[in-house]
Structure 1
Amino acid sequence: MRRVSDILREEREKKNLSLEYIEKTTKIRVEYLKAIEEGRFHTLPSESYALGFVKNYASFLGLSRARIVALFRREYKEENREIIPNFRKNTNRFSKNPFRNSKNILITAIFLIVAVYIFFQYNSLLFGPPLSVSSPKNGETIHNNVVEIKGKTDPYAVLSIDGEEIFVGIDGSFKKSIYVFPGNKKISIVAKNRFGKETKQNFEVKVE
């Protein structure tokens, strides 16, 4: 038995009409007309939309709406029967082992954690810990005899200022006030990790 899509397409071609012309006349978009002529009804917005498009298309071509609608309903049901089992088949394929996906995710997460850990350990073997001093700035002029030194480093680093070990907070921040005499004062800060790798910063301030 001939299909709705074939009947509509053949009638359009017999009348030598383009899809673009039919779109302008019926207001049915070209992509929907193509889907109808190719029998891809499931790609249309819904069954009611598909039925309306097919009715209007059949009327425009001068075909029997009742016959076309009857054929459409039969074909639409057949198409759904083909789509639904395939969907269930694919769904069952992923649901046979509900723990498989969780296991794969867990393995991937563990692998990433180990990789990150190895990277940081390797980095510590080659380089000293990060060290930044926010205050004072190199070359800054201080107008009192107390210089407050602030900065940040690795929270596990051993930090010293001018040879004196300084406490480092859990977030890596440190702060130390030192007494200085007027004139130029050189300050040395050293951060050392557990592998003995050091990062140094030397700067000078002017005390007035």
Structure 2
Amino acid sequence: MRSHLRNILKYSAITLMVIFILGYGIFETRRLFEGPVINLVTPPNGMSVTTSQVTIEGSAQNISDISLNGRKIFIDSAGHFKEELLLSYGYNLLTFIAHDRFGRETKKILELVYTGPQ
């Protein structure tokens, strides 16, 4: 009877460990399928601004590097970034490009219009 109970506990523990390891593996491999993600928070796309200096805020997940108009930008440990830019008068096109560690690329374009002081 005691050895039967030991076998049940042993196989239960092994089964739980296998389930945990498989679950963790599936959780970690989701990055293989998602690829890099860029989320822009402020300012909204298509916005007209009256000051030449603008603060761009957003976040990025599953990336190894990210750039804004070809210039590398840095993210904090939580994946957030905040960049100060000077806009040209008129239409401004800001291109964010991010790569993940597997070489996949994603691009996000932000269009802003600087109308000058009103």
TM-score bracket relative to the smaller structure:
0.7 to 0.9
Q: List alignment gaps of at least 5 residues for structure 2.
A: none
Residue among 183, 190, 193 paired with 2:90: 183
Residue among 20, 27, 38 paired with 1:109: 20
Aligned residues: 114
Which structure's CA Rg is the greater one?
1
Partner of 2:6: 96
Q: Counterpart of 1:133 in structure 2: which amino acid?
A: L
- Counterpart CA distance in 1 for 2:31 and 2:86 is 37
TM-score (norm 1): 0.49
Q: List alignment gaps of at least 5 residues for structure 1.
A: 1-88
CA contact (8 A) 1:130 1:153 kept: yes
Where 1:181 maps in the other structure, the secondary structure is coil
Residue among 145, 159, 162 paired with 2:66: 159
Shift of 1:154: 1.3
Residue among 139, 143, 151 paired with 2:50: 143
Where 1:116 maps in the other structure, the secondary structure is helix
Identity of aligned residues (%): 23
Q: Counterpart of 1:114 in structure 2: which amino acid?
A: G
- Counterpart CA distance in 1 for 2:97 and 2:103 is 11
TM-score (norm 2): 0.82
Where 1:99 maps in the other structure, the secondary structure is helix
Larger strand proportion of the pair = 2
